[in-house]
Amino acid sequence: MLQLRHFLLLLPLLLLVIVAGYLLLVLPSHNNLPVADFVPKGFEPSSQTWLNQVNVKQIIQIQSPNDVFNRRQNLSHYLFGQATLPATTDISIAVDIQDLDYQKFYQSKILQQINRLTVTMDFGINSVIYHFIPRKSNQKIVFYHEGHEGDFRVAKQGIYRLLSQGYDVLAFAMPLLGKNSQPTIKHDRLGLLKLRFHNDFRFLALDANQGHALKFLLQPVIAMWQHFNTQSKPIVAMIGFDGGAWVTTLFAALQPDLLRSYAVAGSFPHYLQDWQVTEYEQTDTALYYIANWLELYILASYGQHRQHVQILNRYDPCCFMGTAYRSYKNIIQSRLRQLGHNHGYFNVFLDESHKQHKISKLAWAEIIADLKRFESLQAYDQ
């Protein structure tokens, strides 16, 4: 009787094991699914039926190098109220500051010092940028831009990896986040408003010759590019995550001298966006009428020795997940080849190593390996 009682107690567990084994045998593996089928429930635009109805080639209206030039000018006019990128705004510099968040960097002896640069813009909006200088420098600079997570200290592991390879790192946070100001403005129609998140930029009234409020996301990067581009260390790449990937893609689209750009978990063409997109920079219709995402990828890639890399987390619980990039990746590269021998390259790296919204260790390793390959090619060309 005692043995029978034990058997009856174990019976539900045995049945559970049998059912689980059966399901593993009969259900398809994620690795064998067709284009974009492994995505969260309800993400209908990723289905093959949906994608078959989208003419990606027709959406891309860039046909010539002249189209590239005109799109860049039109973007600049829309964002800054002028055909070229704006001149450097007000910059203040504090040399060799101390920040306890990076104490381990000093202890491991990879960090020489941190300089703090502050870019001041209209309405009291600023951007506090850290310039991390490694103890053993390779005399090259990489920009890193954090996203909606807040302060760039959340990317300390990635910054550490870059420093350990000898790169200077300039680290940015999204306006109004991290160490950046959250000013209170006096609105003619709405009264006093405190700017807490960059979605609040929609309340800023700008004249056409002043550009668009989205410029506040790009001006700090432009200011640092102009400031450091005159110095002996070249800026070799920009890396952005989440909203920082938006900034990275837009800046690469506007600045053809940026040769390497890496945008992580930051965008999809609009025909693939089925979740509730609320970020200000993702929902400005007029911007994407000038250049949609597919065209922005081309602008970010086009040019001699240039490459734009989109890094996507296949199992990202937030956004831009799955494998639907297959619907446009080869088409974009084909269009780039049509633009001539100095066409540049567009690539996608699919990260299947985790199930989070982040830049993984694998992605950081891939970025650094790609930078090393690029430097080897440059050295060979010389």
Average pLDDT by stretches of 10, the chain with 382 residues: 49 51 38 38 56 89 97 97 88 96 94 97 95 96 94 96 98 96 91 91 83 95 94 93 97 97 96 76 94 98 96 94 94 96 92 97 97 81 60
- Residue 257: beta bridge partners? none
Phi-psi region of 109 (alpha: psi -120 to 50; beta: other; left: phi over 0): left
pLDDT tens for each residue of 364-374 = 999 999 999 98
Burial of 304 (0-12, 13-18, 19+ CB in 10 A): exposed
Residue 1 lies in a domain: no
Please report the pLDDT score of residue 10 as a whole number.
53
* Best CA proximity match to 246, nearest among 213, 212, 279: 279
Burial of 133 (0-12, 13-18, 19+ CB in 10 A): middle
Please report the pLDDT score of residue 379 as a whole number.
64
Residue 139 lies in a domain: yes
Spatial distance between the Cα atoms of 274 and 49, rounded to a whole number of angstroms: 15
Spatial distance between the Cα atoms of 241 and 149, rounded to a whole number of angstroms: 9
Element (H, E) at 48: helix 48-51
Whether 252 contacts 267, CB under 8 Å: no
User: Which residues span the domain enclosing 274?
Assistant: 47-381
Whether 155 contacts 245, CB under 8 Å: no
Residue 189 lies in a domain: yes
Chain-centre distance of CA 66, in angstroms?
26
Cα torsion 177, 182, 186, 188 to 10°: value is: 0
pLDDT tens for each residue of 235-292 = 999 999 999 999 999 999 999 999 999 999 999 999 998 655 678 899 899 999 999 9
Using only C-alpha atoms, the chain has a radius of gyration, in whole angstroms, of: 23
Amino acid identity, position 157: Q
Residue 254 lies in a domain: yes
Chain-centre distance of CA 284, in angstroms?
17
Please report the pLDDT score of residue 105 as a whole number.
95
Based on the structure, what is the number of domains in the chain?
1
Whether 88 contacts 80, CB under 8 Å: no
b or e along 330-347 (b: 16 or more beta carbons within 10 Å of the residue's beta carbon)?
Answer: ebbbebbeebeeebbbbe
* Best CA proximity match to 151, nearest among 191, 180, 192: 180
Give CB contacts under 8 A, 24+ apart, made by 49-53. 51/324, 51/327
Residue 356 lies in a domain: yes
Q: Which CATH number characterizes residue 141's domain? A: 3.40.50.1820
Chain-centre distance of CA 267, in angstroms?
8
